[in-house]
Amino acid sequence: MMKSSNLGYPRIGEDREWKKALEAFWAGKLGEEELRQQLQDLRLNHLRKQLAKGIDVIPVNDFSYYDHMLDTAAMFGIVPKRFPYEGGVVPLSVYYGIARGTKDAAASEMTKWFNTNYHYIVPELDGAVPVLTENKPLSAYREAKEKLGIEGKPVIVGPLTFLKLSKGYSQADSDAWLSRLLPLYVQILQELANEGVEWVQIDEPILTQKLSVADVNRLKNIYETFAASVPTLNIMLQTYFESVEQYTEIIGLPVKGIGLDFVHGRSGNLSSIQALGFPENKVLGAGIIDGRGIWKSSLREKLGLLEELAGFVNPERILVQSSCSLLHVPVSVAYETKLSTELKDALAFADEKLDEIVLLTKAACRNLNAIPEEFQENERAYLTFKFSKNRKRDDIQQAVATIADQQLERKLPFSERYAAQQQKWQLPIFPTTTIGSFPQSAEVRKARQLWRKNEWSQEQYDDFIRKQIDIWVQVQEEIGLDVLVHGEFERTDMVEFFGEKLEGFAFTQNGWVQSYGSRCVKPPIIYGDVAFLKEMTVEETKYAQSLTGRPVKGMLTGPITIMNWSFVREDIPREQIAYQLAYALRQEVEALERAGIGMIQVDEPAVREGLPLKEADQAEYLSWAVKAFRMATCTVQDTTQIHTHMCYCEFHDMIHSIEAMDADVISIETSRSHGELIHSFEVNTYTKGIGLGVYDIHSPRIPGVGEMTSMIERALHVLDPKLFWINPDCGLKTRGMKETVESLRNMVEATQIARSNHAATV
């Protein structure tokens, strides 16, 4: 008989209780014991919900105080040397210090979790001597069993994935590191087996990447060691986000179950099973419900897939589950009271996905008499939305198709534009600027709330925004920045703001998901064709420019980032969605230029995270991503300077595509991984304007002048001083005013030192 399973549940709570507890603790408003109690209550509530819905195999240890990769590092006592740690269980002060930084120590690097918008803390292995400080999976198992009577399935990040996603070691030391980590994993598993645990989920999403022969051998060594050490424990080797690469080797591993993604990896995984079969002695974790998307599944179509799988695998050895952890979707559709009935009925968040899993499991077990009504209602809602006329605009589709066929190029090449722009702007060497946003204080958030509740008129709100712009234009001038921004005080979010002003978008009231740490975002929903309605940013930018003689950048979010940071429709290719967004943004770029704004920043921090995991698919994605950016920006005058901003990516495998975007200046988020990026430039050339972030805005610490000067000098060893800009890592929306001003003052002072050092060479 098939059973239902889940791979992980959102941490944040129905009303973001998790976020509120963490931030209260960081602010000193909540003690450590209170924090632990509140988080335990939340964690148990999540388990109760899954139990009540009828999930047979419930995950434990999927909850975290910040991030699961950080949890794994802390469990092994892997703490960077710059933090005060003398062994034993890692204190919360050190744990959060690694994640957020402290006054005396920079935070660890944070980067994307595969191709999602979730960010994990990168473990630093350099100099660490791993030991088991606490068996967190065991504690989570005991808690669920003692408090709720749940026989939970502990979830652990697998050794190969943990190692491959860590830093601070050379590839030559991979086997040495595994030899240190494996005994600790074995100890965890043996203690779980002794406790009577039935199943353990070991997450190895790295298996969807192409592995070297050496890594395949390491994989075999890992799981042969586990099988020999804990022969009675059922290990579910869980993969997700794509199809596995070395299928034959993976199904041959001595584990009791293998979890495969039949949503994002459906084609590859299904083909492998059809061609090569599936071991008779293993359980298949069939990930058929999308753990990353928010659309309702067609239960009939999913039931057909289950029946097809049952032709290769005994139904009694199939677990029906989500394709990945539900960490990546909001908690429940139940709280959405303002969406149209047609759209709301087409949505499935975490709780609704659990219901889908249970319904499919019952249906697959042939208990159809209990659920025909649910299947009929699902099919009605699914088809009504799929064929809705509200999603289509022929004029947009035709206009985009016409533009996509054109040659999308600036009139002059960069070298000639650069000369014209230098003559127009007369900027000093190493121009200073920021990425766009300034602190959104409690006052700013309150003003927006009053306006949204209609307690403030539009005029009152506009006046408040102008006063914020007044303050921060003056602050920027006093600090000595060369290129200013208006501060984005009218914007809740860099994607939501634009979506609210474009056709084809819908917005939830409570559709929050975790991005990093306590930072939660509420992605818009792109449900139909995207269309430009009216100017979106011109008024505020033009007003800021009227206050100063220095250039003010127009600030837009790029088409690929809007797409990648939204929940998007599934009825047309993502490429077409990107082009529709680009066409709308082109109209805004042209409006800014007509208003006299001669520097326009079109941010694309999410280009890298949309890169397909399969190498064979990456060139096509990059081609249309570049095309979308150029579609949005290529019509401006030669003297109009196009900027863009990106989060850190391994430059060597994208540099040609980034250059092909043909932005005049690119700023890159790099401070947590500055050395790695500098190394990339030692082997790759970049011939356009570039600014490497010289301090980390995700941390509340204020970096010193010397620290930033050092970063600038390292960059200038490999970058052309004539084309080098100086800026923070990212936008400053989440920071306080005092730390922002002090950090920027230090940045300008570091710039002045650099100008003095390099004046003769430029």
Q: In this predicted structure, which of 244-258, 504-518, 669-683 has the lowest mean pLDDT?
A: 669-683
The answer on 421 and 378 residing in a single domain is: no
Q: What are the phi and psi torsion angles at 236 (to 5°)?
A: -95, 105
Report if residue 322 sits inside a domain.
no
Report if residue 266 sits inside a domain.
no
How far is it, in rounded angstroms, from Cα 13 to Cα 513? 10
Provide the CATH number for the domain around residue 47.
3.20.20.210
Torsion of CA 233, 238, 243, 245, to 10 degrees: -60
Asked if 622 and 657 count as a contact pair (C-beta separation under 8 A), the reply is: yes
Report if residue 290 sits inside a domain.
no
Torsion of CA 60, 63, 67, 69, to 10 degrees: -10
pLDDT tier at 543, thresholds 50, 70, 90: very high
Binding-site positions: 16-19, 112, 435-437, 488, 519-520, 565, 603, 609, 645, 647, 669, 730
The answer on 222 and 179 residing in a single domain is: yes
Report if residue 410 sits inside a domain.
no
Q: What is the pLDDT of residues 253-298, one digit of tens each?
A: 999 999 999 999 999 999 999 999 999 999 999 999 999 999 999 9
Torsion of CA 237, 243, 249, 251, to 10 degrees: 50
Asked if 298 and 379 count as a contact pair (C-beta separation under 8 A), the reply is: yes
Say whether pLDDT at 654 is over 90: no
The answer on 502 and 372 residing in a single domain is: no
Report if residue 439 sits inside a domain.
yes
- pLDDT score of 422: 94
The residue among 499, 485, 426 whose CA lies nearest residue 733 is 485
- pLDDT score of 350: 98
Report if residue 556 sits inside a domain.
yes
Q: Which residues contact 653 (CB under 8 A, 6 or more apart)?
A: none
Q: What is the pLDDT of residues 221-257, one digit of tens each?
A: 999 999 999 999 999 999 999 999 999 999 999 999 9
- Domain final residue pick, 341, 371, 386: 386
The answer on 727 and 619 residing in a single domain is: yes
How far is it, in rounded angstroms, from Cα 734 to Cα 516? 13
How far is it, in rounded angstroms, from Cα 486 to Cα 489? 8
68, 679, 698, 758: the active-site residue: 698
- Section 702-723 average pLDDT: 88
Q: pTM higher than 0.95, yes or no? A: no
The answer on 433 and 343 residing in a single domain is: no
Asked if 286 and 309 count as a contact pair (C-beta separation under 8 A), the reply is: yes
The answer on 495 and 351 residing in a single domain is: no
The answer on 525 and 382 residing in a single domain is: no
Asked if 600 and 589 count as a contact pair (C-beta separation under 8 A), the reply is: yes
Binding-site positions for L-methionine: 435-437, 488, 603
The answer on 635 and 595 residing in a single domain is: yes
How far is it, in rounded angstroms, from Cα 100 to Cα 108? 8
pLDDT tier at 349, thresholds 50, 70, 90: very high
Percent of the chain at pLDDT exceeding 70 = 97
The answer on 423 and 371 residing in a single domain is: no
Encode 25-64 in three state secondary structure. Answer: HHCCCCCHHHHHHHHHHHHHHHHHHHHHHCCCECEECCCC
pLDDT tier at 605, thresholds 50, 70, 90: confident
List strand residue ranges (DSSP E) for 467-561, in order: 502-506, 513-516, 519-521, 525-532, 553-557
Asked if 530 and 504 count as a contact pair (C-beta separation under 8 A), the reply is: yes
- Sequential DSSP letters for 553-622: EEEEE-HHHHHHTSEE-SSS-HHHHHHHHHHHHHHHHHHHHHTT--EEEEE-TTTGGGS-SSHHHHHHHH
Domain that holds residue 48: 3-207+217-240+333-386
DSSP 8-state code for residue 206: G
Across the beta sheet with 724-727, what order do the strands follow?
553-557, 599-603, 641-646, 665-668, 689-693, 724-727
The answer on 365 and 514 residing in a single domain is: no
The answer on 472 and 342 residing in a single domain is: no
The first and second tokens of residue 49, run together, are 């919900």
Report if residue 265 sits inside a domain.
no
- pLDDT score of 74: 98
How far is it, in rounded angstroms, from Cα 77 to Cα 72? 9
Number of structural domains (the chain) is 2
Asked if 568 and 577 count as a contact pair (C-beta separation under 8 A), the reply is: yes
Q: What is the pLDDT of residues 89-99, one digit of tens each?
A: 999 999 999 99
The answer on 597 and 552 residing in a single domain is: yes
Q: What is the pLDDT of residues 378-409, one digit of tens each?
A: 999 999 999 998 899 999 999 999 999 998 99
Asked if 262 and 323 count as a contact pair (C-beta separation under 8 A), the reply is: yes
CA angle centred on 694, ends 689 and 699, rounded to 5°: 135
Rg, Å, the chain Cα set: 26
pLDDT tier at 525, thresholds 50, 70, 90: very high
Beta strands 502-506 and 525-532: pairing type?
antiparallel
- Whether 652 sits among the annotated catalytic residues: the reply is no
Report if residue 318 sits inside a domain.
no
